[in-house]
């Protein structure tokens, strides 16, 4: 099973359980913290991905780092460890956030640009995305200089790539195919 589908399944199961226990918002807060912490810490990411480090060490490290998390979140961590899927913890956290926001009628639009968005441009983009999705949308701007210019917009499963790097790759393929 591909990791993305497995992450969605773990996230759905966790969300269902959190809703049942009336703790979905608290678990979303935990998931945001998990995602941010793993993204910011190369050491933690390497620990989770390492096949050499024993599961018990990973479990103790994660439960120490996320000691203030809810019992549902701690249960998810233990489940991922026992199923030898702890390396996908960040992906499960991201999928949980997306699923919970959709449930609340909200979406997050991830906009990747080469430089930070201006407030005016962000407002225009937000209005356009709200019209397209019909949901309340918040924008999260990510900076990636490798796209050279333009932007990549991702809302849920939809992606629109208007980056210069993408256009250059398309041209390169056309030239290569025409030879």
Structure-token pair, residue 130: 């709200």
In CATH, which of 2.60.40, 3.40.30, 1.10.10, 1.10.3210 is domain 106-178?
Answer: 3.40.30
The CATH number that domain 3-101 falls under is: 1.10.520.20
| Residue-level pLDDT at 102 | 83
Enter the pTM of the model: 0.67
| Residue-level pLDDT at 108 | 81
Q: Which residue ranges make up each domain of the chain? A: 3-101, 106-178
pLDDT tens for 137-148 read 888 888 889 999
* Better-predicted residue by pLDDT, 32 or 105: 32
CA dist 178 and 27 (Å) reads 52
| Residue-level pLDDT at 56 | 93
Within 10 A of 24 (CB to CB), how many other CB atoms are there?
21
pLDDT tens for 68-102 read 999 999 999 999 999 999 999 999 998 999 899 88
Contacts of 73 (CB under 8 A, 6+ apart): 14, 27, 30, 31, 34, 66
């Amino acid at each position: 099973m591909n990791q993305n589908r497995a992450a969605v399944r773990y996230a759905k199961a966790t969300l269902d359980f959190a809703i049942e226990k009336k703790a979905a918002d608290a678990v979303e807060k935990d998931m945001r913290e998990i995602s941010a912490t793993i993204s910011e810490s190369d050491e933690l990411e390497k620990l989770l991905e390492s096949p050499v480090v024993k599961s018990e060490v990973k479990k103790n490290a994660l439960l120490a780092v996320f000691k203030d998390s809810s019992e549902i979140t701690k249960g998810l961590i233990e489940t991922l460890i026992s199923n030898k899927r702890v390396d996908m913890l960040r992906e499960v956290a991201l999928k949980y956030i997306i699923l919970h926001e959709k449930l609340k009628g909200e979406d997050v639009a991830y906009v990747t640009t080469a430089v930070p968005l201006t407030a005016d441009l962000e407002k225009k983009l937000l209005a356009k995305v709200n019209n397209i999705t019909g949901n309340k949308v918040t924008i999260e701007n990510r900076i990636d200089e490798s796209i050279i210019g333009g932007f990549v917009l991702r809302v849920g499963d939809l992606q629109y790539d208007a980056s210069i790097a993408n256009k250059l790759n398309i041209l390169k393929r056309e030239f290569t195919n025409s030879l």
